[in-house]
Structure 1
Amino acid sequence: MHEPFYLPLDTSDPEKGERFHATFSTTGPWFSDAQHMGPPSALMMRAFERCAPSRPDAPPLQLARMTIEVLGPVPAGEVTVRASVERPGRTIEMLAAEMEAGGRTVLRARAWRLAITDTTEAAVGEAAPLPGPEGAVLSTGRPEGWLPGYLDALEWRWLRKGSMGDTGPGTAWARLRVPVVEGEEPTPLQRLVAAADSANGVAAPLDLREWLFVNTELTVHLHRPPRGEWAGIDAATVIGPTGTGTVSATLFDLDGQVGRITQELTVRPR
């Protein structure tokens, strides 16, 4: 049995910051003492979702774009998260959040929250839905050299490629096996973002045993709120000649496309 990603330590005052213990389930395949960025990204989305609107007369609002900047390795152990409205508005707001660990800020994030309106008649441009996870290939283990933790806390089913260790573009379904925060049911957005940060692994361009290709940020654009527990990721990576790369992915739930993500990579030999 895997632990939840985070155990609450003090969540009594979100404005001053909520404290959590990041468990072994958050640790990534790169380093045994550092979190994969999927769980912290989901925790930042939780902070945004819990951030009250700036105006009592605001219509229903939705998170539409989120960017998380990675300021350094995020260690397992105690972290503190806080979020606030940075740009108030009735129908458009910008939110800001940050995560602290070990006495330093390790993540900063911004999100646009926009009014919900009915544009059903104008909806256009979605990609075709992915085949469902029931017909995809279940991933049954980690590639050689990839560390346990986060990768085991998700169920992975592959439509293109067969595992994280295969190089090249990839398409996969993923769903959480654990809560983001102990005692809470993760929201569809938390589930989506927890998986979406793995796009650079779904589209792993190089052999992890020989190369590091770590994302320095994650940007998510949504054209509708996600639904359900499954996240579909159709991803591809471009590596340039000067030590950087980009990942782009289309995101899906079982009803179809929900948005896109991008990641900037720093690339170097091990």
Structure 2
Amino acid sequence: MSSAFFTQKRDELVPAPHARGPWSPDMLHGRLLGGLAARAIEERYAQPGLHFARLTVDLFRNSPMLPVTVETALVRDGRRIRVADATISTDQGVIGRASAVLLRQGAQPGGDQTVVTPAWDAPPPSGPPVEGRDWTPPFDLWRLTGWGEPGPGRVWLRETYPLVDEEPVTPFVRAALAADFASPLSNAGPDGLRFINADYTLTLGRLPEGDLIGVEATGHLSAGGVATGQVTLHDTAGPIGFCLVTAVANAAAIGGR
């Protein structure tokens, strides 16, 4: 394992070179912003018996490879619900924000559900992960379907670097990082990715077990250059949650939002 994506220096998180995204060598990868927000909210507001049920991440501004700060605020703290926000900034201004909902766990209702998400039939990966051409993912990626092929796109993901310093990647942060893959899977076309996402909303029935997270595209709708897509997230034991994204068309090379 090599260095983390970020190094903590006082109140700032300084990105390492491999924190860049695929679109530009001097641009932070958007998935890391969701991971940092999840980390900060979990660090400050997690509590035994409270489950991270939702994380919404707004990615409204691309950022160069600059130090990042994450500020959090407790919005609501009730008997069964806790809501917290995070704001992600550089010295150029705010680049993203997030909101998390934590719900009190209790007894599971009995009886059958009328709709149940089935476990997918994809076994854990056995071969080596894919390697990129111009950009090699700084995480392990196994494609179970080709980009733009008809039908649901499927991948397995596994984090290979710590997010900050040598901290272990928690299950919640791991899910937040994987959720960003909802956009390329649900918005891909035969000629490539023609939509760039502006946000994502992760919902979790339970936290992932183990290092592997599977992502399967289960829906896409678009009109007038605006799209919405959805995926189901799995671990090796079964489905764990869903992720919904909104995106805007970008037929040219993807640049600023």
What TM-score bracket applies, with the shorter chain setting the length?
Answer: 0.7 to 0.9
State the shift of 1:190 in Å: 1.0
RMSD: 2.3
1:30 matched to 2:23? The reply is yes
Tell me the equivalent position of 1:43: 36
1:252 matched to 2:243? The reply is no
Tell me the equivalent position of 1:83: 72
SS in 2 for 1:260: strand
Q: C-alpha separation between the residues in 2 aligned to 1:233 and 1:98?
A: 27
Flag the 1:263–1:39 CA change in 2: closer, same or farther, 3 A: same
Range moving further from structure 2, 120-129 or 175-184: 120-129
State the shift of 1:167 in Å: 4.7
Letter in structure 1 aligned against 2:44:
C
State the shift of 1:236 in Å: 4.5
Q: How does 1:1-270 map to 2 (within 5 A)?
A: 2-10=2-10, 18-52=11-45, 60-119=49-108, 121=110, 124=113, 125-130=115-120, 131-134=122-125, 138-142=128-132, 147-148=134-135, 152-159=137-144, 161-162=145-146, 165-168=147-150, 169-203=152-186, 204-205=188-189, 207-208=191-192, 212-236=194-218, 238=220, 240-270=222-252
State the shift of 1:235 in Å: 1.0
Question: Any idea what the Cα deviations from partners look like across 1:27-47, whole Å, max 9, x if unmatched?
Answer: 221222222221111111111
Letter in structure 2 aligned against 1:132:
P
Q: C-alpha separation between the residues in 2 aligned to 1:153 and 1:122?
A: 43
State the shift of 1:259 in Å: 0.7
Whether the 8 Å contact between 1:27 and 1:76 is mirrored in structure 2 is: yes
Q: C-alpha separation between the residues in 1 aligned to 2:111 and 2:104?
A: 16
Question: Any idea what the Cα deviations from partners look like across 1:44-81, whole Å, max 9, x if unmatched?
Answer: 1111111236xxxx862111011111121132220001
Letter in structure 2 aligned against 1:79:
V
Q: C-alpha separation between the residues in 1 aligned to 2:139 and 2:119?
A: 22
Letter in structure 1 aligned against 2:16:
T
Tell me the equivalent position of 1:13: none
TM norm structure 1: 0.83
Paired positions, count: 248
Q: Stretches of 4+ moved more than 6 A in 1?
A: none
State the shift of 1:111 in Å: 1.1
Range moving further from structure 2, 112-121 or 99-108: 112-121
Flag the 1:261–1:46 CA change in 2: closer, same or farther, 3 A: same
State the shift of 1:103 in Å: 3.0
Whether the 8 Å contact between 1:205 and 1:237 is mirrored in structure 2 is: no
Whether the 8 Å contact between 1:138 and 1:158 is mirrored in structure 2 is: no
Letter in structure 2 aligned against 1:250:
T
Whether the 8 Å contact between 1:200 and 1:237 is mirrored in structure 2 is: no
TM norm structure 2: 0.87
State the shift of 1:225 in Å: 2.1
State the shift of 1:180 in Å: 1.1
Give me the identity figure in percent.
26
Whether the 8 Å contact between 1:133 and 1:157 is mirrored in structure 2 is: no
